[in-house]
Amino acid sequence: MIDAGRARELVEERIADFGKHPHDRWTPVITRVEGFERGWIVYYGAAEPDAMLAGNAPFIVDSQTGDVHATGTARPIEEYIANYLRTGDPHQ
C-alpha cells in the first residue's frame, strides 16, 4: 500500500530533472498531496516564488501499485480522476 509520503517520493523522483534545462531557472517542489478513492493526487510547483510555470499538471499515484500517471491541464483534475477510476488511464 502506497501512503501519502511514498506518493510524494515517487513524484519527486519523476520531477527531479524538471527545471534543469540550461534556460530554466527553477527548482520543482511538491506543493500538495490529496487522497482519492484509488490513490493520491500530487501537485508540484516551483520553489522560487517569482517562477511562472505553465503546464505543471498534477500526477496520479495509484495506492495499490505505486504507478505514477501524468494528468494534464486542458481539463479539470476531476475529469482526469474520473477517467482513471473508469479506465485506469487519466486521458481516456
**Within a domain: residue 92?**
no
Per-residue pLDDT of the chain (92 residues; tens, 9 = 90+): 999 999 999 999 999 988 888 888 889 999 999 999 999 999 999 999 888 888 899 999 999 999 999 999 999 999 999 999 999 999 99
**Confidence (pTM):** 0.93
**Within a domain: residue 14?**
yes
Give buried/exposed letters for 5-34 (b at 16+ CB in 10 A, else e): eebbbbbeebbeeebeeeeeebebebeebe
The boundaries of the domain holding residue 52 are 4-87
If one counts the domains in the chain, the total is 1
**Within a domain: residue 70?**
yes
Are 81 and 39 in contact by the 8 Å Cβ rule? The answer is no
Residue 8 CA to residue 5 CA, distance in Å, equals 5
The three-state secondary structure class of 9 is helix
Would you give the DSSP letter of residue 29?
Answer: E
